[in-house]
Structure 1
Amino acid sequence: MKNMFDYMEKAPSLCEQIIKEKDKRIGNLVEYFVEKERRRIVIVASGSSYNIAMSAKWYLQELLNLEVKVVWPLTYTMYDNSYDNQSFIICMSQSGKSTNTIEAVKKAKELKHDVCVLTTNKNAPIKEYCEHVYEYGSGSDDYYVAKGFPCSNVFLMIFAVEVASRLNKWKEAQKKKEISKIEVEIAKLDNTRIQAKKFYEENKKSFLNCRRMMLVGIGSSYGVALEGALKLNEMIGSATNAYEMEEFVHGPTYEIRKDHAIIFIDNNSQCHERMKQLFTACKGLTDHVFMISNAKDYNDQKVLYIDGNSDYNLNVINSIVPFQTFSECICSELDLLSYNLTNYDFEQKIKTKA
């Protein structure tokens, strides 16, 4: 079976293809969205799709100047579904087979919500329940969602750009300028992977021997922390959790022991100084404290510097790469079978995929 790097290497060209084919891939979705005035977007998703939505939501919210909510499928189906007809429901499913997301689509139709589906395979079973189905463009063979995370973020960002352009009557030059910022992030994917591999080798002992990992982010980088923790959970079975930056100091820090590793994700937002403060303070609790950042004012060997964008909400395209890299490197180093098969029986009993 291919490893995660095989899929990661394909991500840049696929992201570029999404932009080149944006009229074909995203045009009809944009038309559907602008049919009426919208007050909010509700993204219904679980697993990696949820993490993708949490990474992209702040860019969508800022560019479109409307509320963006992210809700788990069962929560939407059973509880959180009281929305007016100016709300736009986006149901995300990488495979298009997730039964919980299919149930959410059915609930949206029952409530007469405007709903669409984003997936890697528009011919998946979910198409039977919704006439508005759109492909991200990452391909349906993405076992690790290694292509899917950057590709679907790019898809959602380009969607936001196209809608903002229509609603705000942008001149073509302004739209091109915004798209070029996304292209800058895509162009850095390969180099980020190379730098992340080097960083792993330099800190391999910490990553291999730690008993627990704690990932900390804020805003869009919290979505990256969620996905990073999920990858580490799935691939190496490590005890890994993601925390919002300030919530991290309200309890979780009391758990930290000398054999725990903490990884902060600083996208150089308005929370940059607070993130630096926490990074420094946590060194008194464990020696395994790391930072992934595009801010240039760190001078520390435990910081993996990623050349970032001036718009910090776009950096999620790149900042997931280190966690994909660490997961694959640890998995390979320890000769682990990714997606631990001890959970096979459990997954058969608690089925969420069609």
Structure 2
Amino acid sequence: MVKMADYIERSVTRLDEVAARGLELVEPLVERFTLSGCDALRIVASGSSKNAADIARPLLQRSLGREVQVVTPEAFIDFEHAQPANAFNVAVSQSGYSTNTIAALDFMAEHDLPCAALTANWAAPISEHAVCVFDYGVGVESVDFVTMGVHVLVSYLMLFGIEAGERMGALDAAEADRLRECLHVAGKACASGISAARALFENQKLALSTQAPAIFVGNGALRGVAQEAALKFSETTKVPAMWFEGEEFIHGPEMQIKPGYLVVIIDDAGGSERLAGIARGIHSVTDTCYLITAHPEGLAHEVAIEASASEVYPFAALAFIQYLAAQIADALKSWDVHPYLDAVDDAFASKAPGYDESVHELERRAATVYGDSAGA
């Protein structure tokens, strides 16, 4: 059986594959957006897809020279659809079965809003609710706790911004070429994060297995990584997990910290003295405080990751978080929810009918594509 860790490792080569055929993937959305006449972009997504969009957002906004929003389907329907008034809407659902994203697409259709949908599953119900549905290149990922799909969506959105920005004159050719080259080494950055997580867990397995509350901190694009970290740890290790920007963290949330808490502070790509100082202070309270950084100074609580450019640094940090969660969940066998919760799961189902069958089909395809040995 193919497991979460297998898909994280597969992300390394998948990012290379997506970069090689990037223009082919993004061209349909680039054309639709550039011809729309819209002067803003709004991405409507939830869960890991929203977190991926938040990671890509800084580069997207810089490349497009336009306002970029990332909102949940609920907020979009309630009020976020109003401003900016002339925005192009992109709804994202990797599974294609997310009922809240489908509801947002129905709202777009009812109000004649310019839009497109992104998915990894053309055969899913999302195709019945959108005029344009595009595949963003994930391929097969059968585990509910999506990881490879997060990496691929970040890469797709970044490349979309580069191509559309250059076409509209917001990004000059030299910078566009530099950014494209950056995406070609995203897989290498991802591999760095996996190696760092593997080494940390091997060295501190007992401390990381206490199932204490977890807090993740990051700024800018790394805020999206922190959001995804809190989600993944909640899903897989079943611990209360939170995320904050650096300054928000030390404006109250830090008051709960006590020995045993897991605190992961993701350094800025260029290095931040402020975040490094916060990490040093928190590490004096709990041994399981780590600073994830590309600029280590040799301190015990630092975890070094490598990235050749700031634009691909989030891929390294993201892979680190994903792989650490997968290792802890494997060690603790914490994948299943409490039986009482499992018994009422149908009461708040978030997927359209047919989702379970689609997962079984993905599992069958994964066994064919990757082989049973991939999950051994």
TM-score range, shorter chain: over 0.9
SS at match of 1:35: helix
Q: TM-score if structure 2 supplies the norm length?
A: 0.88
SS at match of 2:266: strand
Deviation, 1:111, is 1.8
In structure 2, the partner of 1:192 is 193
| CA offsets 1:194-221 (integer angstroms, 9 cap, x no match) | 2220111112222112521111111111
Deviation, 1:84, is 5.3
Provide the C-alpha distance between the structure 2 equivalents of 1:135 and 1:80, rounded to a whole number of angstroms. Answer: 25
In structure 2, the partner of 1:307 is 306
In structure 1, list runs of 5 or more residues that go unmatched: none
Provide the C-alpha distance between the structure 2 equivalents of 1:114 and 1:87, rounded to a whole number of angstroms. Answer: 8
In structure 1, the partner of 2:330 is 332
SS at match of 1:10: helix
Provide the C-alpha distance between the structure 2 equivalents of 1:339 and 1:308, rounded to a whole number of angstroms. Answer: 35
In structure 2, the partner of 1:238 is 239
In structure 2, the partner of 1:275 is 275
Tell whether 2:122 aligns with 1:141. Answer: no
Deviation, 1:309, is 3.5
In structure 2, the partner of 1:124 is 124
Q: TM-score if structure 1 supplies the norm length?
A: 0.93
Deviation, 1:115, is 0.8
**For the structure 1 residues 340 and 65, does the alpha-carbon distance in structure 2 shift closer, same or farther, using more than 3 Å as the test?**
farther
**Range with greater deviation from structure 2 (205-214 or 125-134):** 205-214
SS at match of 1:101: helix
Amino acid in the other structure paired with 2:69: K
**Range with greater deviation from structure 2 (282-291 or 49-58):** 282-291
Provide the C-alpha distance between the structure 2 equivalents of 1:84 and 1:320, rounded to a whole number of angstroms. Answer: 30
**Range with greater deviation from structure 2 (332-341 or 113-122):** 332-341
SS at match of 2:262: strand
**For the structure 1 residues 7 and 205, does the alpha-carbon distance in structure 2 shift closer, same or farther, using more than 3 Å as the test?**
same
| CA offsets 1:135-190 (integer angstroms, 9 cap, x no match) | 12112434121111111101001101111221128676653322111112222322
Provide the C-alpha distance between the structure 1 equivalents of 2:197 and 2:263, rounded to a whole number of angstroms. Answer: 16
Q: Is the 8 A contact 1:42 1:89 kept in 2?
A: yes
In structure 1, the partner of 2:346 is 348
Matched-pair identity in %? 27
SS at match of 1:34: helix
**Range with greater deviation from structure 2 (178-187 or 341-350):** 341-350
**For the structure 1 residues 208 and 273, does the alpha-carbon distance in structure 2 shift closer, same or farther, using more than 3 Å as the test?**
same
| CA offsets 1:302-350 (integer angstroms, 9 cap, x no match) | 2111112333x43222211111111111112123335666532333101
Amino acid in the other structure paired with 1:243: F
In structure 2, the partner of 1:286 is 286
Deviation, 1:116, is 0.9
| CA offsets 1:89-142 (integer angstroms, 9 cap, x no match) | 111111011111000011112222111111111221111111211112112434
In structure 1, the partner of 2:213 is 212
In structure 2, the partner of 1:35 is 35
Q: Is the 8 A contact 1:236 1:338 kept in 2?
A: no
Of the three residues 310, 316, 319, the one matched with 1:318 is 316
In structure 1, the partner of 2:69 is 69
In structure 2, list runs of 5 or more residues that go unmatched: 353-376
Deviation, 1:291, is 1.1
Say which structure, 1 or 2, has more relative contact order (CA 8 Å, 6+ apart).
2
**For the structure 1 residues 27 and 299, does the alpha-carbon distance in structure 2 shift closer, same or farther, using more than 3 Å as the test?**
same
Tell whether 2:247 aligns with 1:249. Answer: no
Q: Is the 8 A contact 1:51 1:227 kept in 2?
A: yes
Amino acid in the other structure paired with 1:352: S
SS at match of 1:112: coil
**Range with greater deviation from structure 2 (4-13 or 248-257):** 4-13
Provide the C-alpha distance between the structure 2 equivalents of 1:50 and 1:170, rounded to a whole number of angstroms. Answer: 25
Amino acid in the other structure paired with 1:58: P
**For the structure 1 residues 164 and 300, does the alpha-carbon distance in structure 2 shift closer, same or farther, using more than 3 Å as the test?**
same
In structure 2, the partner of 1:183 is 184
Q: Is the 8 A contact 1:331 1:337 kept in 2?
A: yes
| CA offsets 1:39-95 (integer angstroms, 9 cap, x no match) | 221111111111111111111011212111111111111222104563111111110
Provide the C-alpha distance between the structure 2 equivalents of 1:142 and 1:341, rounded to a whole number of angstroms. Answer: 23
Tell whether 2:156 aligns with 1:158. Answer: no
Name the Cα RMSD after superposition.
2.0
SS at match of 1:287: coil
SS at match of 1:320: helix
Q: Is the 8 A contact 1:150 1:318 kept in 2?
A: no
Q: Is the 8 A contact 2:87 2:114 kept in 1?
A: yes
Provide the C-alpha distance between the structure 1 equivalents of 2:320 and 2:170, rounded to a whole number of angstroms. Answer: 38
Q: Is the 8 A contact 2:43 2:70 kept in 1?
A: yes
Amino acid in the other structure paired with 1:152: L
